[in-house]
Amino acid sequence: MQQCDIQWPRGLGGGDLVGAGTTAIVARLDAVIKFCQPWDSHFLDREKLVYERLGHDHQGIVRYFGVLDNAIVLQFARETSIRQYIGRQTRIPLHLKLRWAEQIFDAVQYVHSRGVLHGDISCNNVFLDHNLNVKLGDFAGSSIDGCPPLVCYETSHELPGTDISAKTELFALGSTVYELMTGSKPYASVSDDQISAYFEASRFPDVTVIPALRNTILKCWSQDYETISEALQDIKLEVATDKLSIFRHIVLFKRKSLLVPLILTLTSILPFIGWAKRSSLLR
């Protein structure tokens, strides 16, 4: 029999294998269908173009399986978007938020390396799989190879008066991380016009009460980063610091856990020691 490599369909791999026979292979497709009205087909065409450019080499991008009639087939994000997930939870651990931030910036860095600017970065377009890992998606209005975007950022994520660029993406990422950390968009109770006025005046929301990534958020808003990779390095440093802090707490807890039985043991034998001393004196 002639040996050859399996030609997997777009977006599928060995992990999706269900079974195989003499004539065919069966793989599971955990997917959704995205379609639109005919007059909005240009959005779907743009998204298809972007997904084909991005391929499936990066784990932080929604998987693209190809076209079905007038629709595209995409990975099903079981936990929906981060914005929806935050709305359903009463408390999300800080270490999980930090992981999401690192994964988001890493995914955007990859997207930029492929000649794509997302154009609408927010917690609404960052999705979560069944393991709560980030999947960046919704490229229906993205810019590719310098062509104009078909959508714009949410006002709370938009750098006023600037064409789409790495700087506008970073600004949007600052607002995205702010929402991730606080649970609400910047200036959530303020009108869009007022938000734009605040941002034009470089007046940003207070970040002093945010538990982590305060400097990263402010540097994204203030355009102090030149590239996503610069911001990503700062995030990785803070993630590493948080992991070290957790490790120290675990070590301290284990020491305390060992100390308690020791104290109880000593307490239990003290009466015996006293009795032994008294017995010795009587003799």
Strand partners, 72: 34, 67
Domains of the chain from N-terminus onward: 26-75 (3.30.200), 82-241 (1.10.510.10)
Residues 6+ apart with CB under 8 A from 178: 185, 186, 205, 207, 210, 217
Residue 3 pLDDT > 50, yes or no?
Answer: no
Q: Of residues 128 and 246, which shows the higher confidence score?
A: 128
- Determine if the pTM surpasses 0.95: no
Residues 6+ apart with CB under 8 A from 161: 200
Q: Are 157 and 121 in contact (CB under 8 A)?
A: yes
pLDDT digits (tens, 9 = 90+) for 101-112: 999 999 999 999
Mean pLDDT of 65-85: 95
Residue 2 pLDDT class (50, 70, 90 cuts): very low
Nearest C-alpha neighbor of 151 from the set 193, 184, 117, 180: 117
